[in-house]
Amino acid sequence: MKALTVKPHVKDSIQMRDVPDPARRNPEVKVRVIRAGLCGTDADIYEGNYGEPPPGDDFLILGHENFGVVEEAGQNDAGLKPGDFVVSTVRRPCSKCLNCQHGEMDFCSSGEYTERGIKGRHGFMAEYYVESPQYLIKIPPELQDIAVLLEPTSIVEKGIDHAYLIQRRITWQPQMALVMGAGPVGLLAAALLAARGLRTFVASLEAATDPRAEAAQSLGAQYLCLKDISLTDLPKQIGAPDLVIEATGKSSVVFAAMQMLAPNGVLCLLSVTGGSAIRPEPTDVINQDLVLRNSVVFGSVNAHPRHFKKGVEDFESIEKARPGALQKLLTTRLPWEEYGKWFGQKRSGIKTTLEISR
């Protein structure tokens, strides 16, 4: 079968190649990939900054944002059968840590987890893949057009879930949320927060007429252009947010966000920033703010299968309340042979997908 591969840590080594079809053993499921989403992590791997091949291979099949259809299945507890639509989770457990032993691979404490298409395990930019049913999330047919957004949505579901779990330490009824960044993760965060009934703002650099700003509004959030208003003036204009989701990919924004929080506020950091920036920050002021307001700042990566399942439920209710609004995030569909139009290029739009089969 055909697969889109890189040699990890070799910039620009991307190549479509023939690889053997994956062999299925019971109770595994063979999935035909319909499409894969592209994100900053894929770009980082392409640049040679990130990524690891599976043991014994010198290449990695890319792709972790995925959507496909079951091609072959034996008897399996999940009841998956040919024709079912599925999305696969990304992370697989290490063999030693307590968190992985308890199915909390997203909290792996040994660092020896693997991730499909990213670290030590082939991904989904291929005609087929084989997976254990426990890692596959069944997708209702009515969500097939947007299901490729489920993996990035799971990242946001985890961040929001954990913000609320952490705040079970007190009586917490957040009213207002601010999302920093209007990329796919930021916009998905806005969709989920607005659907929870929070007054939701998205702040980003794009002009108010940009499709990202329009997408934020059609998902129920208000958009603020950071060219018109400075980060420090933001709380003066909208009030202090109870929950901030940072999804800009710029670490400097994190420190500004720490200083905006309402008392008992929470800042959830979702950007994997691959750079090496060093900046002076007003550390006394930041520390005092955090202490005097009982603030929480936490980082969050990957997601538990329950966050994928919550994503499916939320997609269903968002589709009912705002039909077509999530679909607007999928701005560019490339036949997968045209991968060179995305990797290493200046990109526009919101989410690009590689269309692998129909």
Dist CA 38 CA 62 (whole Å): 10
Q: Which is nearer to ligand BGC, 293 or 309 (CB)?
A: 309
Q: How far is the CB of 40 from ligand BGC (least distance, A)?
A: 7
Size of the site for ligand BGC (CB under 6 A): 12
The angle formed by the CA atoms of residues 146, 333 and 91, to the nearest 5 degrees, is 55
Dist CA 262 CA 330 (whole Å): 34
Dist CA 193 CA 178 (whole Å): 9
| Beta-strand pair 29-37/114-116 | unpaired
**Could you say whether residue 64 binds ligand BGC (CB under 6 A)?**
yes
Residue from 5, 41, 204, 259 in contact with ligand BGC (CB under 6 A): 41
Interaction with ligand BGC in 257-296: which residues (CB under 6 A)? 272
End-to-end CA distance of the chain: 16
Q: How far is the CB of 158 from ligand BGC (least distance, A)?
A: 10
Kind and range of the H or E element at 218?
helix 211-218
Q: Which is nearer to ligand BGC, 199 or 307 (CB)?
A: 307
Dist CA 319 CA 353 (whole Å): 20
Q: How far is the CB of 90 from ligand BGC (least distance, A)?
A: 4
**Could you say whether residue 302 binds ligand BGC (CB under 6 A)?**
yes
Q: Which is nearer to ligand BGC, 174 or 183 (CB)?
A: 183
Q: Which is nearer to ligand BGC, 248 or 302 (CB)?
A: 302
Q: Which is nearer to ligand BGC, 189 or 256 (CB)?
A: 189
In sequence order, the 6+-apart residues with CB closer than 8 A to the CB of 313 are none
Written as six digits, the tokens of 55 are: 């043991």
- Where helices occur in the chain by DSSP H, the ranges are 40-46, 98-101, 150-166, 184-195, 211-218, 234-238, 251-258, 283-292, 305-321
| Beta-strand pair 296-299/266-269 | parallel
Q: Which is nearer to ligand BGC, 43 or 166 (CB)?
A: 43
Residue from 19, 166, 286, 301 in contact with ligand BGC (CB under 6 A): 301
* Short-list 240, 288, 292, CA closest to 267: 240
Dist CA 163 CA 94 (whole Å): 26
Q: Which is nearer to ligand BGC, 85 or 113 (CB)?
A: 113
**Could you say whether residue 246 binds ligand BGC (CB under 6 A)?**
no
**Which 3 state secondary structure label does DSSP give 224?**
strand
Residue from 155, 156, 226, 256 in contact with ligand BGC (CB under 6 A): 155
**Could you say whether residue 150 binds ligand BGC (CB under 6 A)?**
no
Interaction with ligand BGC in 161-190: which residues (CB under 6 A)? none
Q: Which is nearer to ligand BGC, 89 or 295 (CB)?
A: 89
**Could you say whether residue 39 binds ligand BGC (CB under 6 A)?**
yes
**Could you say whether residue 45 binds ligand BGC (CB under 6 A)?**
no
**Could you say whether residue 38 binds ligand BGC (CB under 6 A)?**
no
Q: Quick one: DSSP state of residue 196?
A: T
Interface mask (CB under 6 A) for ligand BGC, residues 80-109, using x and -? ----------xx------------------
Q: Which is nearer to ligand BGC, 62 or 213 (CB)?
A: 62
**Which 3 state secondary structure label does DSSP give 340?**
helix
Is 33:124 a contact under the CB 8 Å cutoff? yes
Q: How far is the CB of 97 from ligand BGC (least distance, A)?
A: 16
Residue from 84, 115, 127, 246 in contact with ligand BGC (CB under 6 A): 115
| Beta-strand pair 330-335/351-355 | parallel
Dist CA 222 CA 227 (whole Å): 15
The residues of the shown chain that bind ligand BGC, judged by CB under 6 A, are 39, 41, 64, 90-91, 115, 118, 151, 155, 272, 301-302
